[in-house]
Structure 1
Amino acid sequence: MRSSASAADPAAEAAAPDPTVWDTVARLNETADQAGVVQLLTQAASQLGADAACFIGSVRLSASRRAHRLIAACDPAWASDYLLRQRFEHDPWLLHARRGTDPALGSAIPPASVDQQDTVAAAHTAGLRSTWVIPAISSVGEDRIGVLYLASGVVGRFEQDPLLAFRVKVVGRSLAMELHEWLHIQMRRELLAESRLTDAEIDLLRHEEQGHGSKAIAIALNTEPKTVDCRFQRIIAKMGVASRREAWRVARVHGVI
């Protein structure tokens, strides 16, 4: 029997969709490879009434450089074009996720330049015509952000169906956070595999996090400051960065320290 609260509050029903949607979201953290995640994202999008979905992870490596990763359950040609043409530099939806945490309809985020208009037009052509833009927050703020696009190829699909839009918005938050965490773990593993940082080198980066200079670190490790400097130079080379502070930043946003 339906409770009186449910009968009087259709929004509450919308917030409690078919359990299979939550099951799909929960299975993300059990999936090891990206192909499996794309399959689950496709399934979750379909269960929510969306035709396509894409998750973008963005990590700040320095003051002027960011790394971007896509998990695309949508037109692969659009995803390839997005990366090839570096559309993340002119994506108003991604910029929305960098500035705030509230989900928003793509149609409510006006392009602010010709390049942004072109980016949105390309998304519309690829079938992202009515889109929920759902940011995923992290403990390091704007240094590591994520955003989920849940889209319909039908113009006005979510704008014209408030209950469907509310359902997508509620479940989409959980879906975005699970995808963000999954991608974060993968990027951390990749960084450690590529850089081959040792435990001792990670410990040095923790000293850098505390603002300790080479002399203070040398005293703590019972060694010479020049030895500390040499170890940091090795870390910088292994990570492909410009300075020990940048090495700390990259390690931090990847969750290594």
Structure 2
Amino acid sequence: MVTLTTDRAADGRGEAVYEGVNRLGRDEVTLRLRRGGGDLFTLERQLVRAGGTTLTQVFPLGAESALHDFVSADPYGDALQPSYLALRQRYLAEGGERRAAVQRPGLAGDFLDQIGEIEHCRYEAELLPIVQTVTRALGAAQYIFSWLVLDAKSGDVIEHRYLVGCEPAWLNKYIDHVWYMNDPSLEYAKRNATPVLLSRLDLYNEVHWLTEAAAHGFCNNLVCPVHAGTNSALVTLQASNAEPAEAGEGILWRNRRQLRALACELLDWRLAGLQQQATSQFDLSEEELKILRLVHGGGTASNAADALQVSVKTVYGVVYPRINNKMGTPNINKAVDMAVSCGLIK
């Protein structure tokens, strides 16, 4: 099934000018072409597995050859050919190829100035060239920036969103073979908040696919995890180069603080977008936000009643239900959890 949409997406993803939804066995793959700021386009490939895990790649589209490279690396490429052809036609109709041929000016200033430009980006498409420029200036030929949402009970990653700055063949293979299920860098990121070289982790014997990563240029790998302040989300920036091991790792390690600063800024950008989206969607009053903060801090209905100068019965019968109705949650504790994950309260 192929559909078209022109609705503007939320949280900086950009306008979807094409969308193709495809059922492949028990999985669902959606391809989107997004316009994000003038002449910038991204290809978004979203895979929803039968168990509900969602894996989304955001890939920059410049010359048409970039699209060809991505399609060639897609393990479902043959089955998705009609959607890819329709997406390509829309890309050309939108003038993507002509615009990509125009030389765009490079980013001025040093890498700190460039990192500072991230907060002014409206779309993910505008982030990608900045991240590429900064990581290359810091000795990384390739990168993958991951936004990860964790299941509150199991700790498993249930949503992956990747900004792709690497060979598409590698990330497609990583996802297709479900290698994220035994990724030592991911397990490290769940429990730590300091940069680490992958070679310094205790690797499992069965992690043979790291050889495959090296074949695609991920020879030396610095992992920079940053936590979102909740137990439900974290981000990682993986920066890599293909230099000889000692020299290549040395470059990445010397620049670990700067690379982590980049990861932090990308996380802040993402959280700010979620907060803006949630503020518009839920339309909570300052009084309601005050109650959510109070409950988050351990406050009871009695404390809420005192704060609002109403009865406890009114809190249970009016205040809490009004908040739950706006947020679509079954109880006030779920509303607090959602408010924290959306950045509405801290």
Partner of 2:22: none
Instruction: Output one character per residue of 1:11-45: Cα deviation in whole Å (capped at 9) or x when no partner.
Output: xxxxxxxx622222222222221111111011112
Give the Å deviation of 1:199.
2.7
> Quick check: 1:176 aligned with 2:263?
yes
The amino acid across from 1:151 in the alignment is: S
Question: Take 2:211 and 2:266, find their aligned partners in 1: how far apart are those partners?
Answer: 25
Q: Which runs of 5+ in 1 are unaligned?
A: 1-18
Distance in structure 2 (CA, Å) of the matches to 1:71 and 1:120:
20
Q: Is the 8 A contact 1:98 1:142 kept in 2?
A: no
Distance 1:80 1:163, change over 3 A: closer
Q: Is contact 2:144–2:163 with CA below 8 Å preserved after alignment?
A: yes
- Secondary structure at the aligned position of 1:160 is classed as helix
Match of residue 32 from structure 1 = 122
CA distance in 2, matches of 1:83, 1:243: 36
Instruction: Report the more deviating stretch, 218-227 or 143-152.
Output: 218-227
Q: What does 1:82-161 align with in structure 2 at a 5 Å threshold?
A: 89-112=181-204, 117=207, 120=210, 123-124=213-214, 127-137=217-227, 140=229, 142-152=231-241, 154=242, 157=244, 159-161=246-248
Deviation at 1:131, TM superposition (A): 1.2
TM-score (norm. length: structure 2): 0.56
Note the C-alpha offset of 1:96.
Answer: 1.1
Tell me the SS of whatever aligns to 1:218. Answer: helix
Aligned with 1:250 (options 338, 342, 345): 338
Q: Any idea what the Cα deviations from partners look like across 1:182-201, whole Å, max 9, x if unmatched? A: 12212222333333333332
- Residue number among 261, 281, 293 corresponding to 1:194 in the alignment: 281
Q: In structure 1, the residue corresponding to 2:237 is in which secondary structure?
A: strand
Q: What is the deviation of 1:63?
A: 3.4
> Counterpart amino acid of 1:172?
L
Q: Conserved in 1, the CA contact under 8 Å of 2:139 and 2:252?
A: no
Relative to structure 1, is the Cα distance of residues 220 and 87 closer, same or farther in structure 2, using a 3 angstrom cutoff? farther
Q: 1:105 to 1:197 in 2, by over 3 A?
A: same
Query: What is the alpha-carbon distance in structure 2 between the residues aligned to residue 86 and residue 189 of structure 1?
Result: 33
In the alignment, the residues of structure 1 paired with residue 165 and residue 299 of structure 2 have an alpha-carbon distance, to the nearest angstrom, of: 45
Contact 1:70 1:79 in 2 (8 A): no
Q: Kindly tell me: are residues 35 and 83 of structure 1, through their superposed partners in 2, closer, same or farther at Cα, counting changes over 3 Å?
A: farther
Per-residue deviation at 1:237? Answer: 4.9
Equivalent residue number for residue 139 of structure 2:
49
Greater fraction strand: 2
Give 2:165's aligned residue: 73
> What secondary structure is seen at the aligned counterpart in 2 of 1:63?
coil
Amino acid at match of 2:290: D
Distance 1:123-1:202 versus aligned 2 partners, 3 A rule: farther
RMSD: 3.4
- SS of corresponding position for 1:173: helix
Alignment gaps of 5+ in structure 2: 1-108
Q: State the match for 1:216 in structure 2.
A: 303
CA 1:123–1:221 in 2, change beyond 3 Å: closer, same or farther? farther
Structure 1 length-normalised TM: 0.72
What letter is aligned with 1:106? L
Note the C-alpha offset of 1:133.
Answer: 0.5
Pick closer, same or farther for the CA change 1:144–1:43 going to 2, 3 Å.
same
CA distance in 2, matches of 1:93, 1:110: 10
Match in the other structure for 1:165: 252
The structure where helix makes up a greater share of residues is 1
Query: In the superposition, relative to structure 1, how do residues 194 and 123 fare at CA in structure 2: closer, same or farther (>3 Å)?
Result: farther
* Conservation of the 8 A alpha-carbon contact between 2:222 and 2:253: no
CA distance in 2, matches of 1:209, 1:130: 42
Aligned residues: 234
AA aligned to 1:47 is: A
CA contact (8 A) 1:53 1:150 kept: yes
